[in-house]
């Protein structure tokens, strides 16, 4: 019975951590009465394996946590771009983020890649003092990471594979567009709102990348000051804009469309698509570069309903669900090396078992005879 | 008189494949089959065809006691976790853990699985002779299957069972 008592205590901890009352938890678990939750938490009622998995999903808490293998208390400190209006939303995203990170970390652990798997370039604090310095920083980072002339097209890949930043997607509801953190166990993590449009996600990614780069300079405590936070957010926006729209490449594209110092707005939308950013982001970048001289004019264009409508219309085919590429690749690699079962793969990628064959066809699991071929290096 | 019929414990993929190849009904009616609660309630939902998803409804079989559902509880899971080293526990999901926990509690079940994960865990729970490939199961009940995939074969099952045994020997 001692085992049940300890399980009950862990379940109570997990419930409180997820901000559920006994009554709400009982309803979600489809128990007739909340007394059942009390009985379970006091160790007076047996818990079935399926009930445990349901608790795990409800409380956004891994089975390993409920079985007592991992501490339930570990929590992520997230840096919010916009703190959700609803505290419960913020808490849910936090737990979801931790669950994602734990799964990601587990895949790395299974593959023996969990240690020192990330690297963040050092930057000089002086590079953050002025807008011009931030532009220069963005240029330098783009060069160092070989982001090329269309950085948005490869940024995610480079951040994940070259720097080892974990990039995940989650539903944020009203909870803003992205969060980031550097965690002792999980390393640097960026979580993007999956409901954002792809070109917005690129911008969010570059914005959060700035926070990761400057993590040691702008600590969480100082970010609690609204004035300070707003200033850092402006810097992050400036960095994102410079990184995704490199000066020389942008000018090269503009020169193709300018006639008598005038451009058609439709051509501006085309350029924004070409660089995979939103049209307002491009317009503000043109203001930063003093190509559009007047801020009010830039602001008016960026918020123009007609332009927004046109932008949305031409991009209607560009909307695709985000894919956590590296995470999927790690899961597939674990499966291919037979380090996880089919069922576990389905759980990691959040698909039904019936869909696994289709998923594997797409993500590359080879026939046995190809899998066992090896190359010997000299 | 005691029945000599084998009691088969079916993994989720096995049920899905039986349904996909149209033999689920005849197999359940010819044999005594059990599956875990998580497999039946949460994992077996549908299979995919070129025309789309076709749902698998186990409720009629369950209601008519043609398919028996068995559940493991926390103490069964604890016993299983005592037997499985962490790296083996990490490779399987909750439905598979429940099946293995049921097998740990009972010694009269034969696991039918086409997944390397649970098959490799079998030597750790001391049920080495209590696992069977789909190929042999079908032969034993007289069903000819021309649709067998590599994962359904005896060779695949034995290969993974041997890997599990080697891991078990190395870890003990």
Tokens of B1: 């008189």
Q: Which of A125, A16, A116 is nearest to A72 (CA)?
A: A16
| pLDDT the model gives residue A198 | 85
Is B130 within 8 Å of chain A by CB?
A: no
Span of B9-13, B63-67, B82-86, B145-149 with lowest mean pLDDT = B145-149
Closest residue in A to B160 (Cα) is A338
Of A79-88, B34-43, B49-58, the range with the lowest mean pLDDT is: A79-88
Q: Write down the ipTM of this complex.
A: 0.94
Residue that wins the pLDDT comparison between A129 and B46: B46
Whether residue A53 and residue B42 make contact (CB cut-off 8 A), yes or no, is yes
Q: pTM value?
A: 0.88
Using a CB-CB distance cutoff of 8 angstroms, which residues of chain B are in contact with residue A338? 116, 120, 160, 163
Average pLDDT (B108-124) is 96
pLDDT bin (cut points 50, 70, 90) of residue B6 is confident
> Looking at chain B, which residue has its C-alpha nearest residue A331?
B91
Which residues of chain B make contact with A45, given a CB cutoff of 8 A? Answer: none
Test the A interface: residue of B95, B121, B159 with most A CBs within 10 Å: B95
> Facing residues of B111 across strands?
B9, B131
- Is any Cβ of chain A less than 8 angstroms from the Cβ of B81? yes
pLDDT of residue B2: 47
In the predicted structure, residue B12 carries a pLDDT above the cut 80: yes
| B95 near A CB under 8 A | yes
User: Closest Cα partner for B101 from B69, B133, B75, B119?
Assistant: B75
Q: Choose the CATH number for B7-171 among 3.90.930.12, 3.30.70.1380, 3.40.50.1010, 3.40.50.12160.
A: 3.40.50.1010
Q: Does A106 touch chain B (CB under 8 A)?
A: yes
**Partner-chain residue, chosen from A7, A49, A352, that has the shortest CB–CB distance to B45:** A352
B79 pLDDT tier (thresholds 50, 70, 90): very high
Q: What is the pLDDT tens value at each position of chain A, 378 positions in all? A: 567 779 999 999 999 999 999 999 999 999 999 999 999 999 999 999 999 999 999 999 999 999 998 887 767 788 887 777 788 888 888 888 888 898 999 999 999 887 767 888 888 888 888 999 999 999 999 999 999 999 999 999 999 999 999 999 888 876 678 899 998 888 999 999 888 888 889 999 999 999 999 998 887 777 778 888 889 999 999 999 999 999 999 999 999 888 877 888 889 999 999 999 999 999 999 999 998 888 898 899 888 888 888 887 877 766 677 888 899 999 999 999 999 999 999 999 999 989 998 899 888 766 555 556 677 777
Q: Is B74 on the interface with A (CB under 8 A)?
A: yes
Would you say residue B138 has pLDDT above 50?
yes
CB-nearest to B96 from A46, A48, A343 is: A343
So what's the pLDDT on residue A367?
A: 54
Residue B47 to chain A, least CA–CA distance (Å): 5
- Burial state string for B76-110 with b = 16 or more CB within 10 A and e = fewer than 16: bbebbbebbeeebbbbbbbbbbbbbbbbbbeeebb
Which of A48, A342, A352 faces B73 most closely, judged by CB atoms? A48
| Any A CB within 8 A of B21 CB | no
Give B1's pLDDT tier (boundaries 50, 70, 90): very low
Residue range B60-72: average pLDDT?
Answer: 96
The angle that helices B94-105 and B74-83 make with each other, rounded to 10 degrees, is 90
Tell me: pLDDT of B21 over 60. Answer: yes
The packing angle between helices A342-349 and B12-20, to 10°, is 90
Q: How far is B133 from chain A (nearest CA, A)?
A: 16
> Is pLDDT above 80 for B103?
yes
CA distance B23 to A336: 29
């Amino acid at each position: 019975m001692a085992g049940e008592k300890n399980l009950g205590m862990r379940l109570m901890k997990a419930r409180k951590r997820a901000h559920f009352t006994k009554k709400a938890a009982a309803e979600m678990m489809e128990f007739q009465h909340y007394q059942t939750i009390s009985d379970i938490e006091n160790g007076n009622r047996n818990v079935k394996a399926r009930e445990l998995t349901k608790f795990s999903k409800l409380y956004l808490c891994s089975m390993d946590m409920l079985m007592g293998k991992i501490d339930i208390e570990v929590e992520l400190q997230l840096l919010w771009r916009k703190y959700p209006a609803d505290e419960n939303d913020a808490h849910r995203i936090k737990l979801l983020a931790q669950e994602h990170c734990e799964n990601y970390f587990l895949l790395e652990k299974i593959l023996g890649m969990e240690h020192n798997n990330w690297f963040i370039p050092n930057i000089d604090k002086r590079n953050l003092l002025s807008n011009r310095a931030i532009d220069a920083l963005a240029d330098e980072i783009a060069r160092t990471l070989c982001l090329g002339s269309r950085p948005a097209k490869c940024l995610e890949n480079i951040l994940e594979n070259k720097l080892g930043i974990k990039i995940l997607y989650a539903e944020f509801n009203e909870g803003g567009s992205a969060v980031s953190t550097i965690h002792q166990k999980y390393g640097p993590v960026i979580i993007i709102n999956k409901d954002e449009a792809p070109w917005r996600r690129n911008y969010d990614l570059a914005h959060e990348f700035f926070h990761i780069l400057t993590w040691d300079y702008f600590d969480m405590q100082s970010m609690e000051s609204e004035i300070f936070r707003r200033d850092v957010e402006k810097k992050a926006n400036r960095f994102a804009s410079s990184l995704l729209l490199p000066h020389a490449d942008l000018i090269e594209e503009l020169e193709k469309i300018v006639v008598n110092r005038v451009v058609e707005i439709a051509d501006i939308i085309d350029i924004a698509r070409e660089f995979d950013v939103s049209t307002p982001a491009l317009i503000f970048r043109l203001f930063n570069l003093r190509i559009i001289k007047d801020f009010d004019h830039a602001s008016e264009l960026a918020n123009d309903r007609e332009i927004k409508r046109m932008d949305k219309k031409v991009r209607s085919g560009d909307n695709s669900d985000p894919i956590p590429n590296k995470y999927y690749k790690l899961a597939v690699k674990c499966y291919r090396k037979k380090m996880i079962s089919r069922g576990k793969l389905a759980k990691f990628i959040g698909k039904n078992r019936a869909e696994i064959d289709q998923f594997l066809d797409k993500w590359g699991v080879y026939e046995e005879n190809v899998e066992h071929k090896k190359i010997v290096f000299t | 008189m005691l029945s000599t019929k084998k009691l088969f414990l079916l993994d989720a993929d096995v049920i899905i494949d039986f349904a996909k190849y149209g033999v689920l009904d005849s197999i359940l009616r010819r044999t005594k089959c059990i599956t875990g609660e998580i497999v039946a309630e949460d994992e077996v939902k549908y299979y995919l065809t070129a025309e789309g998803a076709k749902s698998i409804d186990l409720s009629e079989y369950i209601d008519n006691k043609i398919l028996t559902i068995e559940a493991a509880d926390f103490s069964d899971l604890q016993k299983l976790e005592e037997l499985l080293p962490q790296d083996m526990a990490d490779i399987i999901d909750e439905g598979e853990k429940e099946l293995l926990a049921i097998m740990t509690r009972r010694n009269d079940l034969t696991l039918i699985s086409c997944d390397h994960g649970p098959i490799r865990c079998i030597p750790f729970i001391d049920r080495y002779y209590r696992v069977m490939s789909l190929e042999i199961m079908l032969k034993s009940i007289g069903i000819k299957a021309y649709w067998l995939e590599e994962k359904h074969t005896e060779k695949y099952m034995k290969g993974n069972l041997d890997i599990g045994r080697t891991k078990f020997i190395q870890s003990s």
